Amino acid sequence: MAFTRLHCSTVLFSHLRTCSLLLGSPLVSFSSLPLSRFANRRTPVSTSVANMDQNPTVDIVPPTRRKWKPVCLYYTQEKCTLMEDGSHLEKFNHNLELDLGVDELVLNKLRPQELDYLLVLDLEGKVEILEFPVVMIDTRNMKFVDSFHRFVRPTMMSEQRIGEYIEGKYGKFGVDRVWHDTAIPFKDVLQQFEQWLANHNLWEKVKGGPLNKAAFVTCGNWDLKTKVPDQCRVSKIKLPSYFMEWINLKDIFLNFYNRRATGMMTMMRELQMPTFGSHHLGIDDAKNIARVLQHMLSDGALMQITARRGSSASGDVKYTFKNRI
Ligand SMILES: [Zn+2]
């Protein structure tokens, strides 16, 4: 897959300073974007392209280009039963690599990395974790390797409260049905995730310790400093050893480009990249953060651990950079 330079109308990308955009190979057809609600709520819908809602019906894509499709959220959770159904495959993306293409030409700027694999993690859920998406990138060629995605069912909430919470968060993307169909408790998510890590030789339960030549990449410290330990307490499980260190991409961004980025959207704006999918749908955010990561790698950034949790009972976090966000 190639990153493609697209010269386009400045109208749709008016928030960007320039209209020369670094795009992943799939170009976005806004006319193909689903509306936020569908009569058939069984259909997983990853909705609009963020920032593009000024004029969602305009198609800026040359007809020869492949249309951007929302990812099938049953598929990302290994639960799609419609893999033989042509119209379903036509409508939804079943290959995450399509949004994470790499241009061979940019690889010459890659510098040697200490870590072979980076796991982009972007949790969703304010009260309890509702979504656990991970996108795995190989640092040697920047390629997408695999993903792990689960919707997470809260442990301490009543059914009624869960219903309201999910309607409020995922209802607006039109994916609350798929959440209800697929969500499992956090404890089960971690069990399946540990199997996934083992399949990729990234971690072994019997050995414990940190990931093997790999690290989590998050946008901020909240996910692993705050949310996962909180959820482990609520779910009454021990904080797993692979969650003790991570890379806060915003710290790397600040120290590499010497530009402050408050969040994913700011980093994408700074790098003049458009966003794909729905902002705050975890799997779409994880993919967009992975695209920022690819961009930074191709600019020659070195990915290194930025935060480490101490082994003491208080579990204080120590940071690599003085200059942090
Ligand atoms: Zn599917």
Catalytic pick among 94, 180, 200, 280: 280
Alpha carbons within 13 angstroms on the beta-carbon side of residue 28 total 29
CATH class of 4-319: alpha beta
Tell me: the pLDDT tens digits for 232-283? 999 999 999 999 999 999 999 999 999 988 999 999 999 999 999 999 999 9
- Reading phi first (left if > 0) and then psi (alpha if -120 to 50, else beta), residue 220 is in left
Query: How much is the pTM?
Result: 0.81
Catalytic pick among 88, 124, 128, 279: 124
> If you measure from the C-alpha of residue 95 to the centroid of ligand 1, how many angstroms do you get, rounded to a whole number?
10
Domain boundaries, the chain: 4-319
Confidence of residue 65 (pLDDT cuts 50, 70, 90): low
pLDDT tops 70 at residue 324: yes
Residue 293 and residue 217 in contact, taking contact as beta carbons nearer than 8 Å: yes
114 assigned to active site? no
Q: Which residues partner with 20 through β-bridges?
A: 7
d(CA 116, CA 238) in angstroms, rounded, equals: 27
Q: Report the first-to-last Cα separation within the chain, whole angstroms.
A: 33
Residue 57 and residue 33 in contact, taking contact as beta carbons nearer than 8 Å: no
